[in-house]
Structure 1
Amino acid sequence: MCSVKEYVRLALCATLVLLQAVAQAAGYVDVLELPAKTSVLAQRSPLLDVARAGERLVAVGQRGHILYSDDAGQSWQQAAVPVSSDLNAVHFPTAEQGWAVGNDGVILHSNDAGATWSKQLDGRAIGALLVKHYGALASAEPADEQWPLLVAEGERLTADGADKPFLDVWFADTQRGYAVGVFNLILATRDGGQSWTPLQDRTDNPQGLHLNAIAATGDALYLAGEQGLLRKWDADQERFVAVATPYEGSYFGLIGSPGEVLVYGLRGHAFHSRDAGLNWQPLDSGLQVSITAAALDAQGDYRLFTQAGHMLRAGADAALQLVPQAQQSPVAGATLAANGALVLVGTRGVRVLPVE
C-alpha cells in the first residue's frame, strides 16, 4: 500500500516522465548532484510537508524545493538546496536546527532556520552503512541468524542504488533523531547527523512494512505505517515494540499530546487513545477519502485534513466534525503558524487558513 507521499508522486508521474525524456536529451545529471533550481512558481508547486522553525515556517516538496516564510505564510523565499530529489518531510527541534528527508535516501540539515541546507546522507551510502554495521555484529555474534540477513539487505540496497525514499524525520533535540522510510528503513543519529546507525533490528516489523511517519506525543515516540503498523519506543528494551490497533489498513500519520495519541490514514480511518495506545476509540470521519495530515490548532483541538482537501475538527470529546471551507485542495502537510493561522501544503502549493 502506497503512502500519501507516494500517491502525490503517482499523480504527477506523467509530468515526470516528460521531464526525464527532456533531461536525457540534454544529458543526464544525477539529482543528487544537481542543486534545486530557483523558481518563481515554487510556492505553487507540489509541496509535501511544512513545519515550524521558531516563528518561521519551512515547507519542502518536489525537485528539492524548500521554502521559508517569516510572515505566517503570506510570502515565501526559496532556500539554497544542494539536491533536486523530491523531499517528503521536514522537522525542526529548535528554531535554527532542522532536518529534511526525501527520495534517493536523502537527509539534509540546516543550521540557519531553513535558509540554506547541506547533505548529510544519500541512498548511495545507506547499503554500505548497513553492511558495515550488521557485518560487525555478525562477526561478534556468529550464532545469531538475523545479522547475515541484515547484511544481505544492505548488499541488496547497494546493488539497487539510491532509490529508497525516506518518508519522515523526527528529532528530539539537535543531537538525537530518526529518519524512516520504505521497507522498514530506519536510521538513528546521536550526533546531529554526523553519523547514522541502522535500527532495522530494533523495530518489530518482520514483514518489512513501510514506515510512513514518526512523531512524539509527550515523552512517547511512535512509528506508524502500513497494515495497521504502530510501534512505540521502549527505552528498557531499546526497540520499537508493537502496539495493537483496531485497523489493518495503512496509517499515514499520528499526532497527540502527553498520554494520548491519534492515528489517521487510509479511507478516512482515525483512532484516538487516551491511555498511550492501550485502548482505542474509532473516530467517524464520515468520509471515504484518506486522511493525510494533521495539526493542533490555537485552541488545542485536532485538525485533520484529507487527500481531497476536507478539514475535520476534533475537540475535547474527540468527535470529528466536518468544517466547511470556501475552497479546498489536496493536503499533504499542515502546521500552526505563530499567529494561529493554519498553514497547509499539497499538490497546489501553499494555502493559509485565516486565524479564527
Structure 2
Amino acid sequence: MTMFKWVVLTALVAALALPFTRAVVAADFTDVLDQPATQADQAVNGIFTGLATAGQRLVAVGQRGHIFYSDDAGAHWQQARVPVSSDLVAVQFPTPQQGWTVGHDGVVLHSSDAGQTWSIQFDGRQVGPRMLAHYQKLAAAQPDDAELQARVAEAQRMTEEGADKPFLDVWFENERVGYIVGAFNLIFRTDDGGVTWTPWLDRTDNPSALNLYALRAVGSELYIAGEQGLVLKLAPAAERFNAIPTPYKGSFFGITGKPGVVVVFGLRGNVYRSVDAGAHWSKVELGLPLSITASTVTADGRIILLSQAGHVLVSTDDGASFKLQPQNGLAPVAAAQVSASGAVVLAGAYGLRQLPLE
C-alpha cells in the first residue's frame, strides 16, 4: 500500500467511525479552505511533513495548516499566520523571501515575507474548473484528438467531485516559474509566480495516472518520482516530462542527489542511483527493509536518507553506499533539511527536532 493510499484509508476509517454525529457536525461545518490555522504554541509538537530554507530561515509545514519558522537552525520556532486548516505536505523557497507550500484539498499557498504570512493562490475548488477550461479550449481547436477529449471528460469529473485532490510536492526554478504535482497525475505549471496555473497532465508520460509523490531538481535536471517505479524527467525544449525506465516497480517517495548523481528512494528500503542523468540505474543495498521517506544533502556533500521509523543512513561516496548511524529515540521522519548554519533538522510525527551527525 502506498503512503498516499494509507493516508486516504485512515481518513476514511475516521469518517466512518462517526456516522451518528454527522447531522450535528454538518450544521457547524466550516470548510478547512475557509478556516485559518489555529494559533497554538503546542502545535510545534504536532505532525510536520515538509521543510525548506528561506535564506537563513527554516520553514516547516504540517497538519491542519500549521507553519512554523526558525531563525536559529531549529532551536526555537515561531508560528506563521495561515489562512487555511488543510494539511500541508511540502514547501519550497526559490528565493529568501518568496515561497510556496502545497497540500490536501488542492491548496497552494504563497509567502512573500520568508514564511511569516501566507495567502491562498490556488485550491481544490479551482482545480477541476481550471482543467476543464484549459482542455476544452485545446479540444475545440483539435476536435479529432481523442486524448484531449478524454482530458475534458476527466476535468468534468474532477469538477463534480470537488476539492479532494491533494498536491504532494512543489518546486520553483525562480520566483516566477514553478510546478506542483499530486495524486492521479495532477501537475500544473506557472510562469507568473502562481497568479495563474496551467494544467500539464497531457505533458507527462503517465498514461495510468499514477500518483506523483516528489518533484526535485538535481543538478540541471528536474525529476518527478511516483508510483510503480515511475520516474519522469523534464525535457525543457519540448516542455514535457518524459518517462525514464527504472528496474523497480514499487513506489518511489523521493529524489535527492547533487550534480552528477541522482538517487531515488521508496518502499521497503528500495534505493536506486544514477550517474548519467537517469539513463542507467544501479540498486543501492541498505540492509534496511523499511520505506525511505526523507532525504537531504549536507554542505560537505554527504547524502542522508531517513526511514519511516527514523533510521539515519549517511553516504560519503555520492550515494554508492550508506552507513546506518547509531542513535536513540527513533521517530518517524517525513522531511529533512540542512539549515544555513549546517545543522540537520527533521520533521515528522512528533514535531521538529535537530539531528546530531557523527
Query: Normalized against structure 1, the TM-score is what?
Result: 0.95
Unaligned stretches of 5+ residues in structure 1:
none
Question: Aligned partners of 2:343 and 2:12: how far apart in 1?
Answer: 32
Question: Aligned partners of 1:293 and 1:355: how far apart in 2?
Answer: 16
Deviations 1:205-246 (Å, cap 9, x if unpaired)?
Answer: 000000000000111000000000000001232200010111
Give runs of aligned pairs for residues 129-208 of structure 1, distance below 5 A: 129-208=130-209
Tell whether the 8 Å contact from 1:90 to 1:101 is kept in structure 2 after alignment. yes
Question: Aligned partners of 2:324 and 2:168: how far apart in 1?
Answer: 28
The residue that corresponds to 1:293 in the other structure is 294
Question: Aligned partners of 2:30 and 2:122: how far apart in 1?
Answer: 18
Unaligned stretches of 5+ residues in structure 2:
none
Give the superposition deviation at 1:15.
7.0
Instruction: Count how many residue pairs are aligned between Structure 1 and Structure 2.
Output: 355
Distance change in 2, residues 1:73/1:293 (3 Å): same
The residue that corresponds to 2:59 in the other structure is 58
The residue that corresponds to 1:86 in the other structure is 87
The residue that corresponds to 1:335 in the other structure is 337
**1:42 and 2:43 correspond:** yes
Q: Which SS does the other structure have where 1:167 is aligned?
A: strand
Question: Aligned partners of 2:292 and 2:207: how far apart in 1?
Answer: 26
Distance change in 2, residues 1:294/1:237 (3 Å): same
Deviations 1:265-300 (Å, cap 9, x if unpaired)?
Answer: 000010111110111121111111100000002321
**1:273 and 2:270 correspond:** no
Give the superposition deviation at 1:10.
5.7
Query: Normalized against structure 2, the TM-score is what?
Result: 0.95
The residue that corresponds to 1:322 in the other structure is 324
Give the superposition deviation at 1:6.
5.6
Tell whether the 8 Å contact from 1:213 to 1:253 is kept in structure 2 after alignment. yes
Distance change in 2, residues 1:281/1:275 (3 Å): same
Give the superposition deviation at 1:334.
0.4
Distance change in 2, residues 1:161/1:171 (3 Å): same
Question: Aligned partners of 1:239 and 1:54: how far apart in 2?
Answer: 30
Q: Which SS does the other structure have where 1:41 is aligned?
A: helix
One-letter amino acid of the structure 2 residue matched with residue 341 of structure 1? A
One-letter amino acid of the structure 1 residue matched with residue 324 of structure 2? L
Distance change in 2, residues 1:166/1:225 (3 Å): same
Deviations 1:105-164 (Å, cap 9, x if unpaired)?
Answer: 000000000000000011111111111101001111111111111011111111111000
Give runs of aligned pairs for residues 4-153 of structure 1, distance below 5 A: 7=6, 24=25, 27-153=28-154
The residue that corresponds to 2:303 in the other structure is 302
Question: Aligned partners of 1:183 and 1:95: how far apart in 2?
Answer: 31
The residue that corresponds to 1:2 in the other structure is 2
Tell whether the 8 Å contact from 1:8 to 1:347 is kept in structure 2 after alignment. no
Query: CA-atom RMSD, angstroms?
Result: 1.9
One-letter amino acid of the structure 2 residue matched with residue 274 of structure 1? V
Question: Aligned partners of 1:123 and 1:338: how far apart in 2?
Answer: 34
Moved more, 212-221 or 14-23: 14-23
Which 4+ stretches in 1 moved above 4 angstroms? 5-23
**1:312 and 2:307 correspond:** no
Tell whether the 8 Å contact from 1:43 to 1:350 is kept in structure 2 after alignment. yes
Question: Aligned partners of 1:47 and 1:6: how far apart in 2?
Answer: 18
Distance change in 2, residues 1:51/1:199 (3 Å): same
Question: Aligned partners of 1:127 and 1:84: how far apart in 2?
Answer: 21
Moved more, 54-63 or 292-301: 292-301
One-letter amino acid of the structure 2 residue matched with residue 277 of structure 1? G
Question: Aligned partners of 1:238 and 1:149: how far apart in 2?
Answer: 21
Distance change in 2, residues 1:316/1:211 (3 Å): same
Tell whether the 8 Å contact from 1:50 to 1:59 is kept in structure 2 after alignment. yes
One-letter amino acid of the structure 2 residue matched with residue 168 of structure 1? D
Question: Aligned partners of 2:302 and 2:14: how far apart in 1?
Answer: 38
Question: Aligned partners of 2:77 and 2:176: how far apart in 1?
Answer: 28
Question: Aligned partners of 1:11 and 1:57: how far apart in 2?
Answer: 30
One-letter amino acid of the structure 1 residue matched with residue 201 of structure 2? Q
Give the superposition deviation at 1:316.
1.5
One-letter amino acid of the structure 2 residue matched with residue 311 of structure 1? V
Give the superposition deviation at 1:330.
0.2
The residue that corresponds to 1:246 in the other structure is 247
Question: Aligned partners of 1:26 and 1:308: how far apart in 2?
Answer: 40
Q: Which SS does the other structure have where 2:196 is aligned?
A: coil
Tell whether the 8 Å contact from 1:106 to 1:123 is kept in structure 2 after alignment. yes
**1:224 and 2:225 correspond:** yes
Give the superposition deviation at 1:314.
1.2
Question: Aligned partners of 2:7 and 2:44: how far apart in 1?
Answer: 16
Q: 1:349 aligns with which of 348, 351, 354?
A: 351
Distance change in 2, residues 1:100/1:16 (3 Å): farther
Moved more, 37-46 or 225-234: 37-46
